[in-house]
Structure 1
Amino acid sequence: GIFKMFKLMPMLSSGCKMVALLGRHNSRALLADHATTVTLFGHRRGRVSLAIHEDTRAPPVFLIELPMLTSALHKEIASGVVKLALESDTRSARRRLVEEYVWAVFCNGRKAGYSIRRKDASDDERHVMRLLRGVSMGAGVLPAAPEKDGGVPAGPDGELTYVRARVERVVGSKDSEAFYMINPHEGGVGGDGGDDGSAPELSIFLVRMK
């Protein structure tokens, strides 16, 4: 699965190798097919951001910086399963669920804190979206944005890591949605097991509390 690919990141000595991979159009796994995707990314010693795309060539429909360090996410990925739950206590009859602003964030059952959904992407976030434009799934290291463009200097602290996965979007109601990672090998929801009932490696839940 994608998490196995992510664990190979130390083998990528620089972001240049990943950029070369992204440029190979003969890999079906890296071609966009307009499926919903989720992306988790951030500098190794910075906070991790979450983006949800309905089309990777368009701006994300949901973008938020999570109240957890990228290094903490890496530890959760090492466990093999990541479940992110975002809960909103605010309600508006005119807003879609993904348009709510304030969210309590839980990772694998533990509360991480609160975050506010971004209306506009930061320079670093726009840089990542440009590099991954048209990519439907993958994991690895990306080159940092140039300092002149507001990026963090390159180096151990400046490396940008990312995981992007195609997901099945399940709408429970106007107040709840779930996103389950699709197994890139089997084409179904789940981890390594596909149809054996194993949990997806990555699942994300958005809930508006009543």
Structure 2
Amino acid sequence: MPPAVVPVEDGSDGAVEEAVHYSCHVSWLAWWNHVRCLLASTFLPCPPAPGAASAIVRGTLFLPSTGDRRVRLFLQEHGLPAAESEHLLVLDLPAGLGGADIAAAGRIVLEYQRQWAPNSGALLNSPKWLVYCNGRRVGFAARREKPSDAEGWVLEKLWAVTAGAGRLPGGGVEYLRGRFERIVGSSDAESFHLVEPIGWQGVNGGDGGLSIFFHRI
């Protein structure tokens, strides 16, 4: 149920009516935002409309064993070495969100709000995102222009891995790597769906597999 609306009086005539209207608007907006986020993380988006553009990209997620323990997400052109491929996206997911959380959710929803910067250009160029995992808001993700030197080393080590999940020898870095189908529904909606039959800690391709959705609202 939406939150109750409580009139606020300040002693002036007509103030109650105005306060009720404002309080009602804010309360319903907060309630709807909560419901919308739950829906987006659990049920949405619907299957892409006929004619939606799609392509195959290479996706890599990895979690360093020490230091900054945020999951990194890299999306790049399929079939090219890391040194030659322009990255579509280099993203730091929120601190505390690990492989087990991603496996439990099966889908990650990232939301960009126009109020942050109304003229933000291409969707994947947005600098920050709200992140929802398993119907729960887990924090913010930050986009970067390119991988760090250490991340580039990891990507080079994984270049020969077509699809798979595990740990890198010596470093203890956990990784998931595979082909993702990129679906562009509109300028404000894109999604990436793991199509390889192997995943990370129980996340598999195909029905019920890992999907990452980007929305601008």
Per the normalisation by structure 1, the TM-score is: 0.62
The one of 56, 61, 76 equivalent to 1:40 is 61
The residue type paired with residue 211 of structure 2 is S
Q: Is the 8 A contact 1:50 1:64 kept in 2?
A: yes
- Aligned position for 2:109: 85
The one of 98, 101, 105 equivalent to 2:124 is 98
Q: Is the 8 A contact 2:120 2:126 kept in 1?
A: no
CA 128–107 in structure 1, closer or farther in 2 if over 3 Å, else same: same
- Aligned position for 1:16: none
The residue type paired with residue 68 of structure 1 is A
Please list, as runs of the form range in 1=range in 2, the aligned pairs for 1:24-173 lying within 5 A after superposition: 35-44=56-65, 46-55=69-78, 56-57=80-81, 58-69=85-96, 72-76=97-101, 79=104, 81-90=105-114, 91=117, 93=119, 95-143=121-169, 154=171, 159-173=172-186
Name the CA distance, whole Å, in 1 between partners of 2:77 and 2:103. Answer: 27
What residue ranges of structure 1 are gaps of 5+ in the alignment? 1-33, 145-153
Give % identity: 34
Deviation, 1:94, is 6.6
Name the CA distance, whole Å, in 2 between partners of 1:165 and 1:94. Answer: 29
Deviation, 1:134, is 4.9
What residue ranges of structure 2 are gaps of 5+ in the alignment? 1-54
Name the CA distance, whole Å, in 2 between partners of 1:129 and 1:179. Answer: 19
- Structure showing greater radius of gyration is 2
Q: Secondary structure at the match of 2:100?
A: helix
Name the CA distance, whole Å, in 1 between partners of 2:168 and 2:65. Answer: 11
Name the CA distance, whole Å, in 2 between partners of 1:86 and 1:182. Answer: 20
Backbone CA RMSD of aligned residues: 2.6
The count of corresponding residues between Structure 1 and Structure 2 is: 151
Name the CA distance, whole Å, in 2 between partners of 1:184 and 1:62. Answer: 23
Q: Is the 8 A contact 2:63 2:71 kept in 1?
A: yes
Which of structures 1 and 2 has the larger relative contact order (alpha carbons within 8 angstroms, sep 6+)? 1
Name the CA distance, whole Å, in 2 between partners of 1:37 and 1:66. Answer: 18
Name the CA distance, whole Å, in 2 between partners of 1:43 and 1:174. Answer: 33
Q: Is the 8 A contact 1:35 1:136 kept in 2?
A: no
Name the CA distance, whole Å, in 2 between partners of 1:160 and 1:36. Answer: 22
The residue type paired with residue 67 of structure 1 is P
Structure 1 residue runs of 4 or more that deviate by more than 4 Å after TM superposition: 91-94
After superposition, the C-alpha distances for 1:39-66 in whole angstroms (9 at most, x for unaligned) are 1101245111111112342142101111
Q: Is the 8 A contact 1:64 1:116 kept in 2?
A: yes
CA 130–207 in structure 1, closer or farther in 2 if over 3 Å, else same: same
